Amino acid sequence: MKSLRPERAFAQFVHRSLAAIGSDTPWLHEQLRRALGHWTALLVVDGECTTIRAGAANTVMVAAESRAADIRCTTTSAAILRLIQGADTIVDAIEADRVQLVGAADALLAWTDALDIFLHGAVRVRAFDGLLTDFEQSRRS
């Protein structure tokens, strides 16, 4: 089992999850890339900043950094886990203020579509349980 640096654990989780989605369900990875379009998203999870944007040639770029973005999504590991486990829908999490989104309406619509595609891909990936376990353990240490 790999140890993830806590300050980069979320970025690594997203990067590894996207790689697994691309390997196991390439059509969903491409849908995710298209949903992101030209938007850049800044995710702040438990204070850790991760930037995500669509790249060229069927890639999605993930960086453990804070930069200017079209969408800012602020949440917690607990809220992410609730979404992944199906305990919350994206709308439920937003309405309960477990996920806060800031950005222009069209960017936010693209982001919620991309997040929904990510969640659908994650449940189809064989390696995802291990990735999720690594992420959960990184948050406890």
Identify the pLDDT of residue 4.
40
Tally of residues, the chain: 141
How much is the pTM?
Answer: 0.85
Q: Please give the domain boundaries of the chain with CATH numbers for all domains.
A: 6-136 (3.30.1050.10)
Q: Which residues of the chain, if any, have pLDDT below 70?
A: 1-7, 141
Identify the pLDDT of residue 136.
83
Identify the pLDDT of residue 56.
74
